[in-house]
Structure 1
Amino acid sequence: MALLKEKPISSLTIKEICELADINRSTFYAHFSSQYDLLNAIEEEFIEDMVSTLNQYNFSKAEEALKMTEKILEYIARNSDVCKMLLSENSDIHFQKKGMKITQEFIFKNWITDSQFDQETFEYINIFVVSGSIYVIKNWVENGMDKTPGEMAEIINNFINHGLSNIR
């Protein structure tokens, strides 16, 4: 993670990783096949932990979306260093795609049954909302989380539910 603060994953070498971690290359290769494999393991651990945290709550009702968004943001705030690195330009886009999939599963799983949209239109709206939310969260983390998770959850949910007319 320290190296990703300095340069992109594509520029990292196994030698650099091993030197910083104070391990030899054979130890590294006993666990990972490449720097991308290591990054994937970090992403998977983060996602597993986040999903485990979110599974502690029952967010099956659409009206609970605000609370769910707040819980996601609280989790991100508690893990801001890892999240900042995983959302940075030096990481790769796969983490953001995984994040989009999880968000779709947790927040939007009930929208399609309550929606007047066909499946294809729903998918486009879903992608727009989720990817926009991820970039808002990325910006929030990069700005030092200048608003509370609750404030950010309100901004995101108000925009999703009411567009610009309800943003203060």
Structure 2
Amino acid sequence: MTNSKLDRRKKYTRMVLKDSLIKLLKEKQISAITVKEICELADINRSTFYAHFLDQYDLLEKIEEEIIEDMGGYLNQNNYEKEEDDLQLLERILEYFVSNHDVCQTLLNEKIDTSFEKKVMAFAHQSFMQKWKTINRFENDLSKYVSTFTISGSIHVIKVWSNNGMDKTPKEMAEIINNLIKNGLSGV
């Protein structure tokens, strides 16, 4: 058997296991999901599951890490060094959420106990802190507070948007978020 067949089979197995976990997370907490349930839904036997993942928590961790890594790659396709690029960066983030809506909405659901929101915040904090240092927008002491406030608010706005069926385009939402960040409530 060739390596490409093994690779395809391995990718397929991981994909159906991930999809199965996401489906189950829509119904219940990770702590209430068993490996047996995941395997039954994926139509994969448990020994195959354990060949790829330690347990359901390891599978969830891998899903979260892949999304963060994928988001980083997606955003790194462009350079956002100028202040004017803020709107474009926000729009790209929102486009990413649209293209991965099902997974992102499930992992950002408040009823689901995952660490995904913290990972998104850490990723955004790192990305924005580097950008803000480049344009010297805030002093170092203040920047971590401004960043935390801005990112937390933005994530919650994205969650509300997602739960409303993404009733606005990514461009419209980027303009709303950017306006709130730049002008606060006085700009609304």
Contact 1:8/1:89 (<8 A) preserved: no
Does residue 165 in structure 1 map to residue 161 in structure 2? no
Match of 1:115 in 2: 137
Match of 1:51 in 2: 72
Does residue 138 in structure 1 map to residue 186 in structure 2? no
Aligned counterpart for 1:150 among listed residues 150, 154, 171: 171
Q: CA deviation at 1:166?
A: 1.2
Alignment of 1:98-113 (within 5 A): 98-112=119-133
**2:138, 2:79 → 1: CA distance?**
25
Letter in 2 for 1:83: C
Q: Deviations over 1:64-100 (max 9, x none)?
A: 0110000100111111011111111344342111111
Contact 2:80/2:131 (<8 A) preserved: no
3-state SS of paired residue (1:109) = helix
Match of 1:73 in 2: 94
Match of 2:3 in 1: none
Relative distance call for 1:116 and 1:55 in structure 2 (3 A) is closer
Unaligned runs of 5+ in 1: none
Q: Deviations over 1:108-143 (max 9, x none)?
A: 4232452343x2322112111101111111111111
4+ residue runs over 3 A deviation: 90-93
Contact 1:9/1:90 (<8 A) preserved: no
Q: CA deviation at 1:25?
A: 1.2
Contact 2:129/2:147 (<8 A) preserved: yes
Relative distance call for 1:36 and 1:91 in structure 2 (3 A) is farther
Relative distance call for 1:129 and 1:93 in structure 2 (3 A) is farther
3-state SS of paired residue (1:65) = helix
Aligned-pair Cα RMSD in Å: 1.5
Give aligned pairs, total: 166
Tell me which of the two structures has the higher relative contact order, counting C-alpha pairs closer than 8 angstroms and 6 or more residues apart.
1
Match of 1:14 in 2: 35
Relative distance call for 1:93 and 1:61 in structure 2 (3 A) is farther
User: TM-score, structure 1 length as denominator?
Assistant: 0.92
**2:32, 2:97 → 1: CA distance?**
26
Relative distance call for 1:108 and 1:154 in structure 2 (3 A) is farther
3-state SS of paired residue (2:168) = coil
Unaligned runs of 5+ in 2: 1-21
